[in-house]
Amino acid sequence: MSLSRRHLLALSAASLASWRALAQDAPLPEIASVPAALKGSGEVRVVGYGGTMQTAQRKAYNDPFEQLTGIKVRDFAGADLNKVKAMVDTGNVEWDVVQLSRGSVKNLLKRGDYFEKIDYELVDVANIDPAYRFEYALDMLVWAEVLGYRTDAFKGAVPVGWKDFWDLKKFPGDRSLIGAGGSSNPELEFAVMAAGVSPDKVYPIDVDKAFAALDTIKPSIVKWWETGAVPVQMLTDKEVVMTSVWNGRMAALQAAGVPAAISWPQGLLKRDAWAVPKNSPNKANAMKYIAFTTMAAPMARLASLIPYGSVNDKSNALIAPAQLAKLPSAPGIKEKLVPYDYEWWAANRDAVLDRWNKWVLA
Amino acid sequence: MTQAASAPVLLVGPLLLFMAAFYAFPVLAMLARSVTDPHPTLANFAHLAGDGVFLHVFGTTLRTAFIVTAGTLFLGYPVALALSRMRPTAATITLVIVLLPFWTSVLVRSYAWMVLLGRRGLINEALRALDLIDAPLRLLNTPLAVNLAMIHILLPYMILPIASVLRQIDPSLPRAAAGMGATPWGAFRQVVLPLSMPGALAGTLLVFVLSLGFYITPALVGGPRDLMLSQLIAQQVDLLNWPYAACLSVTLLAATLVLLGATQVLPGVRGAFRLGTR
C-alpha cells in the first residue's frame, strides 16, 4: 500500500511480461576508445527505473564507460522527479544523472532552478538531431506509444491509425487508453487524429475537439491504464482487443507468443532524457557520462539489448537488421510516428489534467 | 517523579524519540505545507470544498471502505469463531492458512484476482462450462473487483483481533449459560457475541482505516471511474502540486481521526484497544 508507483511499475514488469525480448546474448558493437575529454576519475551516480532497462544500461553503457574513462558508475533504481525536487530543496543532492522525460524536467524548471545545463561541448552534437537536445536535458531513449491490437480479434482486418481505433463497427470490442496517473498525460493526440486532424497538425492540440472525440469512445474504454504492464496484461487476457501501449512492452508480449501486433502509424514518438540535478556532487562526471552514452556505439548497444531506439544518427548502422525492425527510431518506422511535443504539454498539462479528472469521473 | 513512575517513560523513550524524529516531524512538516506553501493560505482547503473531483473520489473511497469492512466482518467473524473453538493443532494450521495471504505481497494478490476475474478467467470459464452464461461477464476492472480483492487482502486484519478476543473468553461462561437453559444460539448471542465486541470493533477500525489508504489494488483491478483518494494524492504529487496533495492528505488523516474518535464514544468500544485485563 505504501509502494511507490515506480516500484509498482518495476514489480509489475517482473511479474507480468516475461521480457524475453531482452536479447541477453546479442552481439554488441565494441567501443575501442573515447575522446580524452571524457576520461576522468572518481564516480558518477546514475538513477534509472531498475528492472530490465537498468540491466541493459549496465551492459550497454556502464561497463564500457568504466573501462574507458576510469570513472566508476554507481547506479540506482527509482528515478523520480519529486525526489529531485526534495533533494535540491533540502540541499542534499545525492544523484548526478537521472533518467526523466523532458516534460518532467520542464515542469520542475517552471518552479525553480532545479537542473544543471547540459555541457554540449562534450556531446556528439553532429549526429544528434536538434529536436533531441534541450538546454537542461538530453534525450537518450526513443520509444513509442502505439496502437496494440489482438491479431485474432478482427478476422484478419488490421487497424491503422486512430480513426480505426475509434471505429467500433469495423473493429468491435473493448479498448483501453492511458489515464492521467504517473508521469503520463492523456492521449489527446490520438483523439484529435481520430477526429480527422492530420498527424503533422496535431500540435497545438485542439483540446475541445479532443474531448469531444473522447466522449464518443468513452463507453468502450474499460480501463484508463497507469502502469505499462496493464495494457499488456489486458491484451494477453483478451480484456481488450485494442489499446495504446509502449512499444517495448509489445515486443515482450510478442516474444511470449501472444497473437498481438503493433500498428505503428500515428503512434507518438516519445523520449526519455538524462538530466543533472542542480549542484550534483559529481557534475563533471555526469556530463561525461551523458556525452558517452549518447555516442553512436553505446546507444546501439542498448538498442541491441532492448527494443528502444537511439538518438544518435550513426547508431542504426551498428544494429542488426532484425532488431532494427523493432525500433521506433528505425527508418521506415520513425516517419510514421508523431514526435511528442513536450513544450506543448509543459505549457498545458495542468489545465488539461484538471479537465480530464472531471471528465473521467463524469 | 518516583522511580516507579518514570520507568514506563524510560521504556518507551527510545521509540518515542524515533517516532518523533522519523515519523511525526516529517508528517507534520508535510501537512504544514497544505497551509504554508508558498505563503500562509487556506486557499487549498477552499479549493477542496468546491472540487467536484475530490468530493466524488472521497465518496468512492468511503463507500469502498464501508463495503470492504462489512464484507470482512461478515466473512471473518465465523472464521474467528471456528478458530477459537479448534484444538491447538487444527487452530495452528487454520491460523497459517489465514495468515498465508497476509505474508503474500499485495501486488501478487491483486494479480491473482486478475487471473480469477478476467474475461477468460477461472470464474467466467466455470460459468461458461456450466452453461450459465453465453458471453463472459465483465468482472475485472469494476467496483466489484476492487471490493472482492480488498476484502481478501484485508481479511486477516479482521480475523486476528476477533479470534484473539474470542480465545480469551472463559469457556465456562457459555457452558454456564447452557446450564441455565440457554440454547447454543442464545448462549452465543447473549454471552459470546457481546464479549467479543471489542475484537470485532478493533478489526472493523483496522480494516476501515487501511481501506481508506488503498492504492495498488484499485489501480490494478478497478474500473475507469474507481479512483481512490490515495490515487488522487499520488497524481497531485506527480503534478508537483505538493500543497494540494498535502491538503488532500490532511483531509484523509482528519477523516480517519474523527472516525476513530467517534467510535471511542460508543459504548463497548473504549476497551477495544486496551490490553486484555478483563
Q: A260 pairs with which residues across the strands?
A: A150
For the record, the C-alpha cell of B230 comes out as 490515495
Any idea which of A128-137, A232-241, B51-60, B264-273 has the lowest mean pLDDT?
A: B264-273
CB A206 within 8 A of CB A189: no
Any idea which of A273-277, A335-339, B261-265 has the lowest mean pLDDT?
A: B261-265
Residue B155 lies in a domain: yes
pLDDT band with cut points at 50, 70 and 90 for residue B277: very low
Q: Count CB neighbours of B31 within 10 A.
A: 16
pLDDT at A60: 96
Please compute the mean of the pLDDT values over residues B79-100 and round it to a whole number. 90
Would you say residue A263 has pLDDT above 70?
yes
Please compute the mean of the pLDDT values over residues B210-232 and round it to a whole number. 89
Q: Count CB neighbours of A257 within 10 A.
A: 10
Please compute the mean of the pLDDT values over residues A173-177 and round it to a whole number. 95
Give the separation between CA B209 and CA B203, rounded to whole angstroms: 10
For the record, the C-alpha cell of A140 comes out as 537518450
Contact B56 A227 (CB under 8 A): no
Would you say residue A154 has pLDDT above 70?
yes
Residue B16 lies in a domain: no
Give the separation between CA A100 and CA A271, rounded to whole angstroms: 9
Please compute the mean of the pLDDT values over residues A52-64 and round it to a whole number. 94
pLDDT at A211: 98
For A14-54, write each residue's pLDDT tens digit.
434 434 445 556 689 999 899 999 999 999 999 999 888 89
pLDDT at A67: 96
**Cα first-last separation, chain A:** 27
Q: What are the φ/ψ torsions at residue A219 (nearest 5 degrees)?
A: -65, -20
Q: What residues have CB less than 8 Å from A10, skipping those under 6 apart?
A: A49, A50, A51, A77
Give the separation between CA B139 and CA A144, rounded to whole angstroms: 31
CB contacts of A180 in chain B (<8 Å) are 235
Q: Count CB neighbours of B219 within 10 A.
A: 26
CB B261 within 8 A of CB B52: no
pLDDT at B260: 82
Q: What are the φ/ψ torsions at residue A260 (nearest 5 degrees)?
A: -145, 155
Which CATH number characterizes residue B101's domain?
A: 1.10.3720.10
Q: Which residue of A has its CA nearest to B217?
A: A1
Q: A97 pairs with which residues across the strands?
A: A46
Q: Count CB neighbours of B98 within 10 A.
A: 19
Residue B130 lies in a domain: yes
Omega within 30 of 0 (cis) for the link into A172: no
Domain that holds residue B174: 51-265
* Range among A1-5, A67-71, A179-183, B271-275 with highest mean pLDDT value: A67-71
Residue B259 lies in a domain: yes
Residue B13 lies in a domain: no
Contact B111 A11 (CB under 8 A): no
Residue B187 lies in a domain: yes
Please compute the mean of the pLDDT values over residues B159-167 and round it to a whole number. 93
Domains of chain A: 21-142+271-338 (3.40.190.10), 144-270+341-361 (3.40.190.10)
pLDDT at B108: 87
Give the separation between CA A140 and CA A102, rounded to whole angstroms: 10
Candidates B58, B214, B220, B249, partner chain A, best to mutate (most A CBs within 10 A): B220
Tell me how long chain A is. 362
CB B217 within 8 A of CB B149: yes
Helix, strand, or coil (residue B26) = helix
pLDDT at A7: 44
CB A210 within 8 A of CB A191: yes
> pTM to 2 decimals?
0.84
Contact B240 A108 (CB under 8 A): yes
Residue B41 lies in a domain: no
| Separation in Å, CA of B108 to nearest CA in chain A | 8
Would you say residue A226 has pLDDT above 80?
yes
Would you say residue B267 has pLDDT above 80?
no
Please compute the mean of the pLDDT values over residues B252-276 and round it to a whole number. 71
Closest partner CB to A361 (pick from B141, B225, B234): B225
pLDDT band with cut points at 50, 70 and 90 for residue B2: low
Give the separation between CA A51 and CA A73, rounded to whole angstroms: 17
For B194-205, write each residue's pLDDT tens digit.
999 989 999 999
| Separation in Å, CA of A361 to nearest CA in chain B | 5
Q: Torsion-angle region of residue A272: left (phi > 0), alpha (psi -120 to 50) or beta?
A: beta
Number of domains in chain B: 1
Chain CA centroid to CA A350, Å: 21
Q: Among A231, A349, A308, which Cα is nearest to A57's?
A: A308
Q: In Å, what is the CA distance from A98 to each residue of A10, A75, A317?
A: 17, 10, 28
Helix, strand, or coil (residue B68) = helix
Residue B5 lies in a domain: no
Would you say residue B271 has pLDDT above 80?
no
pLDDT at A9: 43
CB A88 within 8 A of CB A279: yes
Q: What are the φ/ψ torsions at residue A75 (nearest 5 degrees)?
A: -110, 150
- Full DSSP string of A287-355: HHHHHHHTSHHHHHHHHHHSS-B-SBTTSGGGS-HHHHTT-TTSTTTGGGSEEP-HHHHHHHHHHHHHH
Rounded to the nearest 10 degrees, how much is the dihedral formed by the CA atoms of A165, A170, A175, A180?
30
Provide the ipTM: 0.79
Closest partner CB to B52 (pick from A180, A353, A358): A358
Q: Among B112, B126, B125, B200, which Cα is nearest to B160's?
A: B200
